[in-house]
Amino acid sequence: MTRRLKIAAAGAAGAAIIAAGAAPALAGGGTKDRPAAAHEHAARGQLVSVRHLGAKSAAEVRAWLATEGFDASSVRYGVDSYRLVYRTVDARGRATVASGLFVLPRNGARQLRTVSYTHGTTSYKADAPSTAQDVWGPGPAVTYGSAGFAAAAPDYLGLGEGPGVHPWKDVPTETSASLDMLRAARQFALREHRALDGQVLVTGFSQGASSALGLARALQEGADPHFRLRAVAPISGGYDFRGAELPALLKGGVDPKMSVAYVSYLLTSWNRIHGGIYDKPSELFREPYASHVEKYFDGTTPGEVMLKGLPDTLKELLTPRGFAVLRHPSGTFAEALRVDGEVCTAWTPRVPLRLYKITNDDQAVTANTDHCAAAFRTRGVDAPVIDVGDRVYGGSRHLGSNVAGTALVARWFAGLS
């Protein structure tokens, strides 16, 4: 079994961010990165390099998933797993690169339907799907791949092998990184004499649930002529940070240690992206935390180090002004919250949609999903909410919802295809 850190104040719920383990890697000996062909130009989605991470038989996939309690009932085929590095854009529209995990089934099919899976929160580069040395990070993508889909799991900007700092909870860049990952996956599949049929089934967990809705919206609006949205199935998202998640963070509705981590990540990330939230960390964060908080979320600090370095409660973390920013959002912070919530309020899905949740979610409180479903209903969208049932992973119901929800989504997608 993967060894996950137990943080005394937060229990194993800290695994949502640290995603640290000592289980076997995704697959055995990989090869050196293969550079993209010389004639390929620097367009978005162009491949920079590919690394074969290894292959697993169907039996090996089942055994590997079972080590972390992932449901293996959808496994039909072995898989080949690859790390793709590709060209994309950053939060300011400047050229950069990102990485992601791409999983192909070993079923001989030449035409493949694609699942895009966008992962939950991590603060450490090495814990992204294409670089994680555990089952948690790549497990969902391998589940979908072994079910017969081509599975694309972007690491997002600044995680995995991407340069710079991850712009956490930034749906626009999560969307662009996900879309460009699909483009890179299409190129690579053609090299392997296989083709993506253009229909994309979109899912994601936690942070990635909002990312999934962002990608779905872009695909429906015709962001790429090669891809068409087929269905959407996000799991346990923090869709309504202003109306649901921030009140829960402030009132004790979220695990206290995780509240500290999420608030710290949100404020430091959005100040990097948007500016105007603070000039110096000490304006919002108490010492000694103000001196270290930005470093904790620059991608180079392991999650367990970050959690140990932060206090156990928001009262110990935040200054009065820090609390005021959260309680009464204004300026760039309020605008960022508005944009973040538009994944549920500013578009009308025209494909099958299901929202998956777990009751008594200890991190992304279930009111987020309820509010999102209600917003879609006001636009005439049938948005059934599916409870994944009772499941705990690493001491957390929130994490358990990813394990249980992945199995349910895999079965639903298989029925649609």
> What fold is seen in the domain 242-338?
434 Repressor (Amino-terminal Domain) (1.10.260)
The predicted pLDDT at position 417 comes to 66
Q: Sign of dihedral through CA atoms 383, 222, 231, 67?
A: negative
The predicted pLDDT at position 7 comes to 30
| Contact between 27 and 142 (Cβ < 8 Å) | no
- As a whole number, the mean pLDDT across the chain is 91
Check whether domain 31-240+351-416 has CATH 3.40.50.300, yes or no: no
Terminal-residue alpha carbon distance, the chain: 33
Classify each residue of 249-278 as buried b or exposed e, where b means 16 or more C-beta atoms within 10 Å of its C-beta. bbeebbbbbbbbbbbbbbbbbbbbbbeebb
pLDDT tens digits for range 95-130: 999 999 999 999 999 999 999 999 999 999 999 999
What's the chain's length in residues? 417
Classify each residue of 30-47 as buried b or exposed e, where b means 16 or more C-beta atoms within 10 Å of its C-beta. eeeeeebeeeeeeebbbb
Chain position carrying tokens 């206290």: 256
Structure tokens, 66: 């079972």
The two beta strands, 79-89 and 95-105, are: antiparallel
Q: Tell me how far apart the alpha carbons of residues 246 and 258 are, in angstroms, rounded to a whole number.
A: 12
Structure tokens, 152: 């694309």
Query: Residue ranges of the alpha helices (H) in 346-396?
Result: 367-378
Positions of CATH 3.40.50.1820 in the chain: 31-240+351-416
pTM: 0.92
Return the axis-axis angle of helices 139-146 and 58-66, rounded to nearest 10°.
150
Interior CA angle at 94 toward 174 and 232, to 5°?
A: 20
pLDDT tens digits for range 44-86: 999 999 999 999 999 999 999 999 999 999 999 999 999 999 9
List of residues 6+ apart from 14 with CB closer than 8 A: 5, 7, 257, 258, 261, 303, 304, 307
Q: Is the pLDDT at 18 greater than 50, yes or no?
A: no
List of residues 6+ apart from 72 with CB closer than 8 A: 61, 62, 65, 66, 143
Q: Is the pLDDT at 372 greater than 50, yes or no?
A: yes
pLDDT band per the 50, 70, 90 thresholds, residue 42 = low
Of residues 256 and 25, more confidently modeled: 256
Share of the chain above pLDDT 70, in %: 90
The amino acid that residue 187 corresponds to is Q
pLDDT tens digits for range 285-312: 999 999 999 999 999 999 999 999 999 9
pLDDT tens digits for range 171-226: 999 999 999 999 999 999 999 999 999 999 999 999 999 999 999 999 999 999 99
Q: Between the CA of residue 88 and those of 81, 166, 302, what are the distances in Å?
A: 21, 14, 26
The predicted pLDDT at position 4 comes to 34
CB 339: neighbour CB atoms within 10 A? 14
Backbone angles phi, psi at 354, to 5 degrees: -135, 140
The predicted pLDDT at position 16 comes to 47
Residue of 200, 111, 108, 107 lying closest to 151 (CA atoms): 200
The strands making up 47-56's β-sheet, listed across from edge to edge, are: 34-35, 47-56, 79-89, 95-105, 150-154, 111-118, 195-205, 228-235, 355-357, 385-387
The predicted pLDDT at position 119 comes to 98
The predicted pLDDT at position 68 comes to 95
374 by Cβ neighbours in 10 Å (0-12 / 13-18 / 19+) ranks as middle
- Number of C-alpha atoms within 13 angstroms, CB side, residue 145? 28
Positions of CATH 1.10.260.160 in the chain: 242-338
